Structure 1
Amino acid sequence: MLPLVAALIALAFPALVITAALKDAVSYTIPNWISLGLVGLFPLAALAAGMPLPTGGAHVGVGALALVAGMAMFALRWIGGGDAKLFAAAALWLGWNAAVPYLAITGLAGGALAMGLLGLRSPFVRPLVLSGPPWFARLAEPDENVPYGLAIAVGALAAFPGSPFVDAFQALR
């Protein structure tokens, strides 16, 4: 495959993950097309990276485990449905090698996000935020949810260099 095409496929992961984070921040939703895009592009990326079939199967296993974990967190009302789907779709791309950093950094980013929102929603800061854009003022609403897609994106982007895609596409240079 041409190196340019392979690089464009590899760039789809960060582009879609960043899009999901931004959509979640401004609307508290992650459109299905983003997670479906990640899942649909994975086989092309695996082919472009020359990923062996057993490795691809392991990536599918990681994605499936992440989907089960995401569905459990959704059932417990810890995260939204879009968050669960994004969590699984990103895990599909990251595989076993990047799974631990992905989980750890996503958890840390989620904690930092929660702390930031608590500060933003405090009686001291909230009045200042309300004069800003409506989407930002919504983040300061005390009873509002947490756009966890932001934390998932931070974890996914931080773990992506540990995925086999980065190494494979660097070898194409």
Structure 2
Amino acid sequence: MGGIVVPWLAFALLVLLAVAGIEDARTREIANWKNAAIALLAPAWWWANGLSGIDMAWQLGVALLVFALFVAAFVAGQMGGGDVKMIGALALWLPPGAILSMLVTMSLLGGALTLLFLADRWRRRTEQMPEIPYGIAIALAGMLAVANPILTHFGDA
């Protein structure tokens, strides 16, 4: 249904994720407009991929559940608000199985990132706990989740 629109929307998502990850690395913040753009482009993605109204409702419901789970992490002081919003917005784009895979990948990348920051803290011999730019892990995991179906569909022609 979406023809040429699907790759352009995927490209837009990849660019938004990259820019958000870079911003988080530099400033430890993710601008609300980036997360809003990710979320607001999702219905166009649904339409371009031919989702039915019921499929769209499920997509929205699963994304809200993911968002609610990460809001709990925010309330517990374990994640920043921009990170939580980015995970919720990204969940609007992915089917449930892909969301789970993305979250596992995100956790592994985030763990590796945390270990790198802790090693740097040890190298500098500082007492201050590092603030981890988890948006990097979210962005990379999202990019992998979006790129994987695109790359694996080249042989389907």
Q: Is the 8 A contact 1:106 1:154 kept in 2?
A: yes
Corresponding residue for residue 117 of structure 1: 117
Corresponding residue for residue 64 of structure 2: 64
How many residues get paired? Answer: 155
Distance in structure 2 (CA, Å) of the matches to 1:106 and 1:35: 17
Corresponding residue for residue 5 of structure 1: 5
Can you give the 5+ residue segments of structure 2 that lack an aligned partner in the other structure?
A: none
Distance in structure 1 (CA, Å) of the matches to 2:6 and 2:142: 20
Aligned CA-pair RMSD:
2.5
Distance in structure 2 (CA, Å) of the matches to 1:104 and 1:4: 30
TM-score w.r.t. length of structure 1: 0.79
Corresponding residue for residue 131 of structure 2: 145
Q: 1:159 aligns with which of 133, 138, 145?
A: 145
- Higher mean alpha-carbon deviation, 23-32 vs 150-159, is at 150-159
Corresponding residue for residue 41 of structure 2: 41
Change in 2 beyond 3 A, CA 1:91/1:141 = farther
Q: CA deviation at 1:158?
A: 2.1
Percent of pairs identical after alignment?
Answer: 31
TM-score w.r.t. length of structure 2: 0.86
Q: Is the 8 A contact 2:21 2:139 kept in 1?
A: yes
Q: Which runs of 4+ in 1 moved over 4 A?
A: none
Distance in structure 2 (CA, Å) of the matches to 1:39 and 1:109: 23
Any idea what the Cα deviations from partners look like across 1:18-46, whole Å, max 9, x if unmatched? Answer: 11111000000000011100111011111
* Aligned-partner SS, 1:30: coil
Q: CA deviation at 1:141?
A: 8.7
Can you give the 5+ residue segments of structure 1 that lack an aligned partner in the other structure?
A: 128-139
Q: CA deviation at 1:102?
A: 1.0
Distance in structure 2 (CA, Å) of the matches to 1:2 and 1:72: 36
Matches within 5 A, 1:7-22: 7-22=7-22
Any idea what the Cα deviations from partners look like across 1:100-145, whole Å, max 9, x if unmatched? Answer: 21111111111101001011222x3x39xxxxxxxxxxxx993331
Please tell me the residue identity of whatever aligns with 2:144.
A
